[in-house]
Amino acid sequence: MAEDENQKQNEQIIGRTSATERDPTTSDKFTFWVTDGVMVNPFDIVAGEHHNNSKTFGLVTSLEHRTDAVNHLANYISNNFGAVDEEPNTPRQGTTVAKANVLSNTNDLYMPVENEKAVRFADEAGIQQALGISEMPTERRIPAGIVRMSNGEEAVVHIDRDYVLGPESA
């Protein structure tokens, strides 16, 4: 039952990419707004739709809530000049915006993710691919920990034994 619930969450669109004049998406980062009611945390791994039915995986690095208020003084004034016991005179429109650093793409495409593309939580296979674990030969994998995301998805993280014990180690 919990597995079915996780699968539904992974298929759910949690937001859409957003590119603006002052904050474009690039080959190494993208920004997306988060739909109401969805919890996203730093270090979650997300998948954005991209060209040729590929996915670009990103690591959420920061979250911020933006409103239509020009500055903090506008918020203070709209609250009847700091009256904390009253409802604001001017309701603000706002959204949470997440910034993600690009980790990988399923087709090795590193063009910027375009505006308005669907973003979802990565599933276990997506996490493995985003971190390069799926490219690592199985016999060289050493379990090193678990990634737990805010939607409940978990994935075992492996390191390559050649970088710990083999010719690539220090």
Model pLDDT, residue 132:
93
Q: Which two tokens stand for residue 43?
A: 């270090």
In a domain, 113, yes or no: yes
In a domain, 7, yes or no: yes
User: Is 170 within a domain?
Assistant: no
Six-digit token pair at 56? 């670009």
Q: In this structure, is residue 52 part of a structural domain?
A: yes
Predicted pLDDT of residue 92: 87
Within a 10 A sphere around the Cβ of 63, how many other Cβ atoms? 14
Please give the C-alpha separations between residue 3 and each of 21, 45, 155, in angstroms, as whole numbers.
41, 18, 13
**Is residue 109 a contact partner of residue 3, using CB atoms and an 8 Å limit?**
no
- Residue ranges, the chain, pLDDT below 70: 1-10, 166, 170
Give the number of domains in the chain.
1
Give the pLDDT confidence score for residue 162 in this predicted structure.
Answer: 86
| 29-34 vs 15-17, strand pairing mode | antiparallel
Nearest-5° angle of CA 164, CA 167, CA 170? 55
Report whether 59 contacts 103 (CB < 8 A): yes
Q: If you search the block for the tokens 């959420």, which residue do you land on?
A: 60
Structural domain harbouring 117: 2-163
Q: Is residue 169 part of a domain?
A: no
pLDDT of res. 83: 83
What integer pLDDT is reported at residue 164 of this predicted model? 84
pLDDT score at 1:
46
Specify if 168 maps to a domain. Answer: no
**Residue pLDDT, tens place only, 65-92:** 999 989 999 888 888 788 888 888 778 8
Q: Rounded to an integer, what distance in angstroms lies between the CA atom of residue 54 and that of residue 70?
A: 38
* In-domain check, residue 110: yes
Quick one: how far is CA 16 from the chain centroid?
Answer: 11
CA proximity to 61, closest of 100, 96, 16, 15 = 100
Give this prediction's pTM.
Answer: 0.86
The CA angle 19-12-43, to the nearest 5 degrees, is 65
